[in-house]
Amino acid sequence: MSLNEQSALEQTYMMHTINREPVCLVKGSGMNVYDDQGKEYLDFLGGIGVCSLGHCHPAVTKAISDQAAKLIHISNLFYIEHRGQVAHMVSDLLNAYVPTDEQSPWQSFFANSGAEANECAIKLARRWSQSFGTGGSTILTLDGGFHGRTLASLAATAQPAKQERFQPLPAGFAHTPLNDCEALEKAFEQHGDEICAIMVECIQGEGGVHPCTPEFLQTAQRVAHEHKAVLICDEVQSGVYRCGRPFAFQLFGITPDIVSIAKGIASGFPMGMCAARQNVAAAFEPGDHGSTFGGSNLAVAAAHATLTTLAQEGILENAQTVGSYLREQLATLGDVVEVRGYGLMDACDLRDGIDAPTVVLKALSCGLLLNATGPHTLRFLPPLICSTNDVDVLMEKLPTIL
């Protein structure tokens, strides 16, 4: 079906919740996708940080196909293949930088998205506080963060422009400035007994890739534990090797109590996870949380193939090397005023007068998929198989587009 035909159908029968770019993509392989006319595009968005192994990686497509031929869905009332293995693999990745004498199994709940993973994290924090903490229920989040579009995860998202049309939002959320240790400590001094958790993105993605400082995150961990609260790290965008470590919190010398995971965990198949240290996960009892589709046969098969392949193909080192090269090259452009990021989660701010959404539109004609997170900000979340040669192609075209 052509772009015009698909566009006409969606205009009539789809809710208008997003402005799509004028291209109909029909197939992909590795770093490349192709539209209905056969035109090739180099993808520096990766499904918004989802396609960690690139498009249609053979290991993932085979795992999904093989599983679909055996058993598609059976519900969480029964044991299935791969689910326990994936939880074990994620536990090992979360423990990768924890001192050996402090390691214990992380226990996971399987969901279908990042927003669902964060909903689970919020519920678990409040349940833990009832059983082992102060009984507080307030979740403290950071200005400019993003945690999802369900009502509770939106309430946790301290961006008034995203919230104002959906009031009243669930109560029990407060916010504090990014990287302001003094304000953070003051919030706990004044309201510590009411706070059950502080929820952070170590690197804020939707806002344009803004990292927390190590000092701020270490302060967050310390004051949370001093006040019998838990630290939640939202790793939905920054996790699963994206930032050159298995998880971004491992760059900052902290170990959270709860971690939310999604996007790249199954390289394109919808899946989310909420993982918690064993003593925190123990707060949940049967019936406290659930999901019909979370951890389905297809999802855990895709995740198992993704995590196995990521570990085998030197992805960690590639994300570090290529991400550093990308940031170095972006910094050479005269129209770029700032570059930020870790691994292959990067952004650049453009000088006044250059409209980032217009850059994204013009890039399509040059065979590039780019992404704007604001009027002057481009964000880069390519598949983790991205090479320096791919960056060179980007850099050949981007100056002309700008």
Domain containing residue 179: 65-312
Based on the domain organization, do 189 and 178 belong to the same domain? yes
User: Residue 224 maps to which CATH number?
Assistant: 3.40.640.10
**pLDDT value, residue 10:** 96
Q: Do 302 and 251 share a domain, yes or no? A: yes
Contact 158, 144 (CB under 8 A): yes
Domain boundary among 291, 312, 333: 312
Q: Which residue from 232, 222, 229, 143 is spatially nearest to 192, judged by alpha carbons?
A: 229
* 308 and 319, same domain (yes or no): no
Q: What is the DSSP track for 112-176?
A: SSHHHHHHHHHHHHHHHHHHHS----EEEEEBT----SSHHHHHHSB-HHHHGGGPSPPS-EEEE
Tell me, yes or no, whether 371 and 356 share the same domain: yes
Number of domains in the chain: 2
Separation of alpha carbons 402 and 393, rounded Å: 15
176 and 44 in a single domain? The answer is no
Per-residue pLDDT of the chain (402 residues; tens, 9 = 90+): 899 999 999 999 999 999 999 999 999 999 999 999 999 999 999 999 999 999 999 999 999 999 999 999 999 999 999 999 999 999 999 999 998 988 999 999 999 999 999 999 999 999 999 999 999 999 999 999 999 999 999 999 999 999 999 999 999 999 999 999 999 999 999 999 999 999 999 999 998 999 999 999 999 999 999 999 999 999 999 999 999 999 999 999 999 999 999 999 999 999 999 999 999 999 999 999 999 999 999 999 999 999 999 999 899 999 999 999 999 999 999 999 999 999 999 999 999 999 999 999 999 999 999 999 999 999 999 999 999 999 999 999 999 999
Q: In this structure, are 286 and 264 located in the same domain?
A: yes
**How far is it, in rounded angstroms, from Cα 111 to Cα 303?**
12
If asked whether residues 362 and 252 sit together in one domain, one would say no
Cβ-proximal residues to 60 (8 Å cutoff; 6+ apart), any chain: 53, 266, 267, 268, 269, 302, 305, 306, 309
Q: What is the pLDDT of residue 313?
A: 85
Shared domain for 141 and 91, answered yes or no, is yes
Q: Could you tell me the end-to-end alpha-carbon distance of the chain, in angstroms, rounded to an integer?
A: 32
Domain containing residue 352: CATH number = 3.90.1150.10
Specify the pLDDT at position 207: 87
CA angle 157/160/165 to nearest 5° reads: 100
Task: Please say which residue of 271, 287, 312 terminates a domain.
Answer: 312
Same domain, 276 and 152: yes
Please check whether residues 129 and 18 belong to one and the same domain.
no
Residue in the structure block whose two tokens are 């959404």: 357
Closest CA to 116 of 295, 277, 242: 295
CA atoms of 140 and 73, how far apart (whole Å): 37
User: What are the backbone angles phi and psi of residue 140, rounded to the nearest 5°?
Assistant: -95, 125
**CA pair distance 31, 220, nearest whole angstrom:** 37
CB 175 within 8 A of CB 158: yes
- Residue 295 gets which letter from DSSP? T
On the question of a cis peptide bond just before residue 168, with omega within 30 degrees of 0, the verdict is yes
Encoded tokens for 99: 């001192």
Which residue, 134, 201, 144, is CA-closest to 177?
Answer: 144
Interstrand relation of 336-342 and 40-43 (parallel, antiparallel or unpaired): unpaired
Evaluate if pTM is beyond 0.95. Answer: yes
Domain termination site, one of 254, 284, 312: 312
Say what angle helices 356-365 and 388-401 make with each other, to 10 degrees: 110
Amino acid at 161: A
Residue 70 and residue 44 in one domain:
no
pLDDT the model gives residue 157: 97
Residue showing tokens 């980032």: 356
The widest CA-to-CA distance across the chain, in whole angstroms, is 60
**123 & 142 share domain:** yes
Which secondary structure element, helix H or strand E, spans residue 26, and what is its range?
strand 25-29
